[in-house]
Amino acid sequence: MNPLDLINIYYPEENELKNILLIHSQKVAEKALAIAKAHPEFRLDESFLYEASMLHDIGIFLTDAPRIYCFGTEPYIRHGLLGAELVRKEGFPLHALVCERHTGAGISLANINQQRLPLSQRDMLPVSLEEQVICFADKFFSKTRLEHEKTVEEARRSLLKFGDDGLERFDKWCKDFL
Contact 44, 146 (CB under 8 A): no
Please give the chain's pLDDT, 178 residues, in tens: 999 999 999 999 999 999 999 999 999 999 999 999 999 999 999 999 999 999 999 999 999 999 999 999 999 999 999 999 999 999 999 999 999 999 999 999 999 999 999 999 999 999 999 999 999 999 999 999 999 999 999 999 999 877 789 999 999 999 999 9
Domain boundaries, the chain: 5-177
Paired with 64 in beta bridges are 71
Strand partners, 70: 65
pLDDT on residue 163? 73
Q: Is 128 helix (H, G, I), strand (E, B) or coil?
A: coil
Tell me which residue of 146, 57, 63, 51 sits closest to 92, measured CA to CA: 51
DSSP element (H, E) containing 59: none
The upper half-sphere exposure of residue 9, i.e. CA atoms within 13 Å in the direction of its Cβ, equals: 14
Overall fold of domain 5-177:
Hypothetical protein af1432 (1.10.3210)
Q: What is the CA radius of gyration of the chain?
A: 15
pLDDT of 154 reads: 96
3-state secondary structure of 94: helix
Which residues touch 112 (CB under 8 Å, ≥6 apart)? 119, 120, 121, 124
The H-or-E segment that residue 70 falls in is strand 70-71
Bridge partners (DSSP) of residue 65 are: 70
